[in-house]
Amino acid sequence: MTGAAAPSLSIAEASRLIAAKKLSPVELTRTILARIAAVDPQLNAFLLVTERQALADARAAERAIAAGRRGPMLGIPVAYKDIYETASVRTTAHSRILADNVPSEDAETVRRLHDAGAVMLGKLATHEFAIGGPAFDLPWPPARNPWDTRRFTGGSSSGSGAAVAAGLALGALGSDTGGSIRLPAAYCGIAGLKPTPGLVSRRGVIPLAPSLDTAGPMAWTAQDCAILLDALAGHDPLDPASVPGPAMSYASGLDAPLKGVRIGLLRRFYEHDVPGSPEILQMMTRAAATFRNLGCRVEEASLPSVQEYNAVGRVIISAEAYALHEATLKARLSDFSRVFRVRVLAGALIRAADYITAQRRRTDLIAETAHAFERFDVLIAPPTAGAAPLLTEQRPDDGFSRPMMTTVANVAAIPSLVVCGGFTATGLPLGLEIMGPAWGDAMVLRVGHQFEQAAGLRGRRPTL
Amino acid sequence: MAAQPASTVPTISPAEMQILISRAGLVLNPGQMADLVLAWRQVAGLIASIPQERKLADDMALTFRLPSPKAAITAARAATKAPAKEAPHAASKAVARKAPHAAPKPAAKPARKGKSAAAPAKAKTKRKAPARRSASRGR
């Protein structure tokens, strides 16, 4: 096989071809780099393309394969949200503040993927410090949605979503504090996993709100996210939030039958709390039917309101983000984007008592969410109320004024996967969110993978 | 705990806002001040919506503890009937360690550092490729 079809390959497919010596990592990487050069000017997904590094990584992988080595990530081209520190490669957080920042070490997750033989293509657009975007007053423009370049990718892992959907990377890393992996996954029609806190190291990832931040994979399919998670997961003794535990494979067992799996439908979320569009409601009806056809038991589930989780999450994010950036905000306020200032400056006025009240309520919400998983193996909902909006419709205060269903999983400290759940009549993707109990990452990946297989939506790519 | 009705959103006068901003040590121009007022109204509403009534004795610690991952892993294995497998990331590490970037090369300069500062457009790196890893190989 030549590399010509490479941009439409999943990680699993490319890995099989590479292992069978039917696809060369160098050829694959060259094809992807050529596609980045041709397509990315429309999308702005990349802040930096590390072309020479990518080819060197690919050649090294090719030598390793010739020497008989194997591995699911060997020779697979990936890219990193530009809050992941990369040794000797500029890491800006999409901000003027770090425009010349060149870390001396890789983030632990970058190191793990490198050790697994992945090829680094470059650094991807984000919202400024993973919160201030989309913004047009920064040195780099915001990423655009490959399905319709007038539209928003979702954020803050905006470049990660755009790059994977457009075939500019087979996988990417994102981060998720209130939905930043899953919103771009939904709007760009890919898969994205917010793992259980502590499963994936955050060392070397520029923080937004440390008590809610998680790092995780984004890829075309749930299976690809599982392959990436296999390389990423594991205890990091230098990350105080990392949890020691026995290692397991997330990619094996994805095809085990779902018969008898209990699925909770969070109907009130999308019919009342954040009313979904008619197409979202139809998608949820179809998703429930798909799961029933797979042998699952689908029943209605209930959690506290989306607004409650959001109030807690936004207060914590504002307070912690302001605390992290206070010194720089005071010294270089005008160098931040307006969106960042609107979303973070209010943290200066939050009282300690307010922050602690939010944390106290969070402990209640964690317990109440865990209680729901006594009846259900996973809970499903749409991550958004509709398809990707126009970039021009985004407002600086969106994070406060529009509650997000994705924030539920951050506040509740549970794993959550978004997969493509359908398409609108105009061809825009719609996401389906699958949440599991803490440490139920394998289950949400298994449910997501089998939904993708049954729904048959992975053959459709954006036309660019 | 069931959701409690939100308390009323506190109003704040311009003078009071100015005191808060001064207390925080911020110096804002009128536009920035207007943005902060807009955001603060939203945040104040969110704060007011969080229930506050709870017994003092309920708060033994402002932390949460997740269940052990071992139980979930055992359950996942039982559900899938998949044989226990060695950590794949550990296995692939062992495989890949010998492969890419075996030979460290001299550290490179930052990728187009000068240009990114002066002309903040998209930059394509020109630096020597494998050098990037030299700084991290020693770990």
pLDDT at residue A91 is higher than 90: yes
pLDDT of residue A395: 86
Query: CA A448: distance to chain centroid?
Result: 14
Least confident of A12-16, A342-346, B75-79, B104-108: B104-108
User: In whole angstroms, what is the distance from residue B10 CA to residue B50 CA?
Assistant: 13
**Residue from B133, B134, B139 whose CB has the most chain A CBs within 10 Å, to mutate:** B133
Collect all residues with Cβ–Cβ distance below 8 Å to A392 and sequence separation of at least 6: A150
State yes or no: cis peptide before B100, omega within 30 of 0: no
The amino acid that residue A45 corresponds to is A
Query: CA A109: distance to chain centroid?
Result: 14
Q: pTM of this prediction?
A: 0.88
**Where do we find the tokens 């990832």?**
A205
| Cβ distance of B125 and A53 shorter than 8 Å | yes
**Any chain B CB within 8 A of the CB of A325?**
no
**Where do we find the tokens 């999983």?**
A409
The whole-number average pLDDT for the span A146-159 is 98
Least confident of A233-237, B16-20, B71-75: B71-75
User: In whole angstroms, what is the distance from residue A90 CA to residue B100 CA?
Assistant: 21
> What distance separates the 2 farthest-apart alpha carbons in chain A?
62
- Residues of chain A with C-beta less than 8 angstroms from the C-beta of B113: 90, 100, 102
Which candidate, A230, A237, A272, places its Cα nearest to that of A251? A230
- Residues of chain A with C-beta less than 8 angstroms from the C-beta of B72: 437-440, 442
| Cβ distance of B73 and A73 shorter than 8 Å | no
A10, A24, A81, A194: the catalytic one is A81
| pLDDT, tens digit (0-9, with 9 covering 90-100), for B81-123 | 644 443 333 333 333 333 333 333 333 333 433 333 333 344 4
Residue B114 lies in a domain: no
| Cβ distance of B68 and A437 shorter than 8 Å | no
| pLDDT, tens digit (0-9, with 9 covering 90-100), for B24-61 | 999 999 999 999 998 999 999 999 999 988 777 777 66
- The DSSP secondary structure of A135-191, one letter per residue, reads -SSSSSPPP-BTTBTTB---SSSHHHHHHHHTTS-SEEEEEESSSTTHHHHHHHT-E
The ipTM of this complex is 0.91
| Cβ distance of B99 and A106 shorter than 8 Å | no
More confident residue, B114 or B69: B69
Residue B46 lies in a domain: yes
A15, A180, A242, A337: the catalytic one is A180
The whole-number average pLDDT for the span A164-179 is 98
pLDDT of residue A7: 75
- Coil, strand, or helix at residue A49? strand
Residue B23 lies in a domain: yes
Residue B36 lies in a domain: yes
Active site residue A10: no
| Cβ distance of A345 and B36 shorter than 8 Å | yes
Least confident of A439-443, B12-16, B62-66: B62-66
- Residues of chain B with C-beta less than 8 angstroms from the C-beta of A120: 132
Average pLDDT in chain A: 96
Residue B47 lies in a domain: yes
Write out the H or E segment, with its range, that includes residue A346: none
Residue B77 lies in a domain: no
Least confident of A25-34, A52-61, B77-86: B77-86
pLDDT of residue B10: 67
How many distinct structural domains can be found in chain B?
A: 1
Least confident of A1-10, A50-59, A228-237, B102-111: B102-111
More confident residue, A215 or B134: A215
Sign of the dihedral through C-alpha A96, A98, A102, A108: negative
Out of A140-144, A362-366, B44-48, the most confident range is A140-144
- The DSSP secondary structure of A86-125, one letter per residue, reads BTTB---TTSGGGTT---SS--HHHHHHHHTTPEEEEEE-
pLDDT of residue A400: 75
Q: What percent of chain A has pLDDT over 70?
A: 98
Residue B123 lies in a domain: no
- Residues of chain B with C-beta less than 8 angstroms from the C-beta of A330: 25-27
Phi-psi region of A139 (alpha: psi -120 to 50; beta: other; left: phi over 0): alpha
Q: Is A19 exposed, middle or buried (0-12, 13-18, 19+ CB in 10 A)?
A: middle
| Cβ distance of A89 and B111 shorter than 8 Å | yes
Per-residue confidence at B63, pLDDT binned at 50, 70, 90?
Answer: low
Which candidate, B129, B95, B87, places its Cα nearest to that of A61? B95
Domain regions of chain A by residue span: 9-236+253-455
pLDDT of residue A4: 61
Q: Which residue range is the domain that position B18 belongs to?
A: 14-52
pLDDT of residue B113: 35
pLDDT of residue A178: 97
The whole-number average pLDDT for the span A382-393 is 96
User: In whole angstroms, what is the distance from residue B75 CA to residue A419 CA?
Assistant: 23
The whole-number average pLDDT for the span A85-100 is 98
- Residues of chain A with C-beta less than 8 angstroms from the C-beta of B80: 252-253, 256, 442, 446
Active site residue A334: no
Architecture of the domain whose range is A9-236+253-455: Alpha-Beta Complex (3.90)
Residue B76 lies in a domain: no
Least confident of A6-20, A274-288, A429-443: A6-20
- Coil, strand, or helix at residue B12? coil
Q: Which value, in Å, is the radius of gyration of the alpha carbons in chain B?
A: 28
pLDDT at residue A1 is higher than 90: no
| pLDDT, tens digit (0-9, with 9 covering 90-100), for A220-267 | 999 999 999 999 999 999 999 998 866 789 999 999 999 999 999 999
pLDDT of residue B74: 76
pLDDT at residue A111 is higher than 60: yes
- Coil, strand, or helix at residue A209? coil
